[in-house]
């Protein structure tokens, strides 16, 4: 009855590759990535992130809860960016079958949000410079008690903390620019 209608066997279903093309990689591999805006931003992220890490580590870390997060994010993001850049520099992106444009966007967006929080925490730590941390009393020779206040950060640590906050902001801006470029590449 099927042959009477002019039909034969049913055609095979279409292949999945016809409907789902492989993801397009728009970032170049090898040293060519360093000639793109994205490659330049990743290098700046690594440089500024390492500076935040070094500057915070150079202080006595007066607020471990706040600056512990700053150290965690700066160290993790620095090594993650080095790994991400190495994948493209060493041409591993062709050997790993994932959507690199989506991964690029998701990575940079997550680190952008984390670094924005890091910048706010570092700026908050820096702003507490003038607030007294400890009240120290000691008797004087005239039978009166003298009081002195110990600040959270001494002048040297305050200057290091200001520099760390500035570089945390610069790193946040770099991750924001990388996120924007990655979104443009992913959604083209």
Say if 74 falls within a structural domain: yes
Residue 36 has pLDDT above 80, yes or no: yes
Say if 62 falls within a structural domain: yes
Please count the structural domains in the chain.
1
- 88 half-sphere exposure, CB direction, 13 A CA radius: 25
Cβ proximity of 150 and 132 under 8 Å: yes
Say what the pLDDT of residue 182 is: 92
Banded model confidence at residue 91, pLDDT cuts 50, 70, 90: confident
Between 60 and 179, residue with greater pLDDT: 179
Say if 94 falls within a structural domain: yes
Q: C-alpha distances in angstroms, 114 versus 36, 77, 150, 181? A: 24, 9, 32, 18
Say if 10 falls within a structural domain: no
Whether the pTM exceeds 0.75: the reply is yes
Say if 116 falls within a structural domain: yes
CA distance 185 to 102: 9
**Range scoring the smallest mean pLDDT among 76-80, 105-109, 141-145:** 141-145
Say what the pLDDT of residue 99 is: 84
CA distance 89 to 86: 5
Say what the pLDDT of residue 11 is: 76
- 136 half-sphere exposure, CB direction, 13 A CA radius: 6
Of 114, 45, 55, give the one whose Cα is nearest residue 78.
45
Q: What is the DSSP string of 16-41?
A: HHHHSPPPPP-SPPGGGGGGSHHHHH
Domain containing residue 141: 24-186
Say if 32 falls within a structural domain: yes
Say if 1 falls within a structural domain: no
Q: Would you put residue 97 in left (φ > 0), alpha (ψ -120 to 50) or beta? A: beta
Say what the pLDDT of residue 1 is: 53
Residue 42 has pLDDT above 90, yes or no: yes
Residue 140 has pLDDT above 70, yes or no: no
Say if 58 falls within a structural domain: yes
Q: What is the DSSP string of 51-73?
A: HHHHHHHTS--S-HHHHHHHHHH
CA distance 34 to 55: 26
* Token pair of 41 as six digits: 């931003």
């Amino acid at each position: 009855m099927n042959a009477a209608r002019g039909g034969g066997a049913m055609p095979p279903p279409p292949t999945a590759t016809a409907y789902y093309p492989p993801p397009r990689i728009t970032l170049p591999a090898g040293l060519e990535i360093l000639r793109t805006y994205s490659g330049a931003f990743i290098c700046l992220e690594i440089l500024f992130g390492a500076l935040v890490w070094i500057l915070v580590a150079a202080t006595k870390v007066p607020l471990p809860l706040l600056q512990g997060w700053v150290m965690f994010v700066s160290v993790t993001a620095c090594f993650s960016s080095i790994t991400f850049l190495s994948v493209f520099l060493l041409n591993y992106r062709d050997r790993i079958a994932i959507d690199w444009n989506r991964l690029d966007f998701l990575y940079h967006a997550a680190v952008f949000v984390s670094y924005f929080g890091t910048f706010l925490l570092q700026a908050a730590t820096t702003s507490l410079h003038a607030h007294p941390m400890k009240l120290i009393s000691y008797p004087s020779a005239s039978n009166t008690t003298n009081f002195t206040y110990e600040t959270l950060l001494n002048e040297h640590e305050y200057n290091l903390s200001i520099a760390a906050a500035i570089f945390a902001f610069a790193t946040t801006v770099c991750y924001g620019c990388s996120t924007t470029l990655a979104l443009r590449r992913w959604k083209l």
